[in-house]
Structure 1
């Protein structure tokens, strides 16, 4: 576990600073926002669901209250009719003829019941059933024998209360009660009031916008009223009363309450997954605000990190350029913070380094020039040339052609070597100079070795440093050819162009050297001062990418390659 944490910490340390800021902000900013948003969403969702349940509960209570009020109105009407003396006199009167009975019913009973139905237009029927010997008159009064076989008759006969009956299949709702005995005939009566079924339960049809169901059942668990209101796409969520009893509580939210009359129980159910439909916009708003906050936070940290890190990234880019050798860059910053101070400090350091490099470089060049001028000053060209000319004439007078030839070659060599104080000349002149030097060496060695010069004509007009071949020829003779005992010496000088570079090669078949010695011949510790000096001059003049390359095999010879750029 510790190794895993160390590895992750190491990976975090290696990533870019801007990403570190973003990741850090995500951990200390965005993640808490997400956690807080999730918590708020969860709490809000729970509270909204509870509120929706409370709303349904309130709607149900209001609907039941409306039902109770309606039933109370009808009960008051029932009481009024049951204890009305005019009705008792009409119903309980001992009639002697049917005409007298009919006249009494039409003149007294019918207008009274009609007026009640006029003021209560949802009362469909008011009928008084009596054990008195009467003839049925319309729907207002009828003999008791008509209802003795009814399902509700026995329940009403044995009760002194108002009983309500309703049937969801036939859509009928009515109240029944026993009336006080009629004194004149000692007969019994039952008051039957039928009301509009839909009007009685109308309050249950506007409890919510949609997607809920209502069951009203009596004490025998029979359905008194049933109402289902579901959208077209949610019809599969409807339940029959039998299915309603077997649904798990986590699928549907179920609420119930008791009606005030006749032991009716009201059940309301709604699918849990649809509870949030009514509060969907509110939850969507909460989620949207949280997402907007997260996006704004990410944008803000990205923008701020860019501002904070841009200076460091610019400084890193400048440092990479300096590392690549581009020392001429200008580094500055107008920022007043620590990063700005760091950038300005780096700029001052680069300027100071450039100043020191310039001083050291110029002092070294000046030193080389002074050394060259001092060497040239030691050799007075006119005096030297006049002296060599005199020696030549003397040799000719004494009939010594070899002395004359050496004198002429020596004059030609020094004329090219001194080069009027200049450091560069054409490759053609450098080849001519080294040929003069080789002729002198051949005379000094009695022509004991061979020399071959093979330089392409197309490189002759290009520029080179003077006196870069002579030290290599001298090194080949002294340390290679002169030490041979088993074969004749040979030196090859080759000049050719390769793309934008010129290669000048000096190769001998001398005794050669070991790889260690070949690798060290160009270093400060080597004794080959002439070869090392040529290498330093080339790098100083053309740059570090140009130099000498030494390849040697013991017993086979040595090959030194000069690489310089093509310069007209």
Structure 2
């Protein structure tokens, strides 16, 4: 329950734009998943059909090769079986050994060799005979009794084929020539190449002749007997394993070839299908993301614009104009908010003006707290007494203090010239040099065209005080350098104080502007500038930790004080 409530709270706190985007994306993506699955299986089945067709063509080529080899074997068998010289030699009886030798050397063996040598796939030729005159006197002649499974009483043996160990074996009896002699031709042909194409990859092969006698059978096919129903791509189970059946005919012999291909060999494991489907799916998801983002941006654009306007008002900007030409709910809400801002702007301006008056009154009250005539008379007396006593250093300090307070009080006025403000800053620096035993240098870069410009008074001294306290006083090695410069940048007047102290670390510069101080610190200066010149102006701090700090003020040139 806690997990469910936490998830619900998290969803509720998620931005509305993200929830709307997720809704669009999920709605469009739901249809992509079944579409991707369908596309994958469609491509998979197409490749499977192509693979079946490829296997079928391969087996057909192997059958064609086997048919061609059988046709060649029949030609060879006919040449050996009906050759008159061979038949005459086999039926010759009662001749001497010398005559036998001549017959074998000049007739029988050359004839057989000429036929065998022209066919490279013939492994060997044997002729089994019961002719007692010829037995054992030629490398081609063997005793008929050595021929296994031969029964003379069953009549003449017709052409009989057997396939074993990649060899085609043919047996056929020579025709009778009057003499009561039996001669049987035995020949072996190499057909391993064509058989190999039909047996590779764990395939199984079954060759059936026209009488449904098995010429060849692979292990495991003994139980299959449905020859009549056999057809291409038929699923067959052999010993519990699934096979795909491919059927072909061998025209030369009238045989039927049944090739069983394991179903697992037909499986498509090509990762390119999955990759292609995945890439298409990724592209579709990307398009869904893009369309969802465009829809959200189109629908939520007015709401986002209204939200930014609300944030601007929240930050105190009541000068914006908010309106909409749309007449839907969001347009009505936008126009109502714009009307509310106009009313608020009137109220805020009234309060703002009252605050300015209050600040100015507070500043004049601070100036009035000092009795300038008493202070000037006292400092003049100290200066005269010091000169009389020969204390020139004390006399100089008293003059600097007098100059500092005269320019700081500024006769109660809120504005002064850059010239007077610089005199105030120089007096303050002279006092600080005396207090710091001249441990730092002061440098000035003042644009002459800036001196008559009007500015609010007492804005440079707090910057110099901050540079001494946080920069020069904290410097551990080397001599401190304080730089004051004033220049124009277009229609802006820039007053800056730079020190070579350790600088601010992290966000200390922001704290220096925003934090309250015991004296007349940076925050007070920044607030006065914003009150007099507007929120676009104020103090800027640029600090490199361990190197230097630059505090500058940017205000309009000769701006009229509001």
TM-score after normalising by structure 1: 0.48
* TM-score for both structures, normalised by structure 2: 0.49
- The structure with the largest alpha-carbon Rg is 1
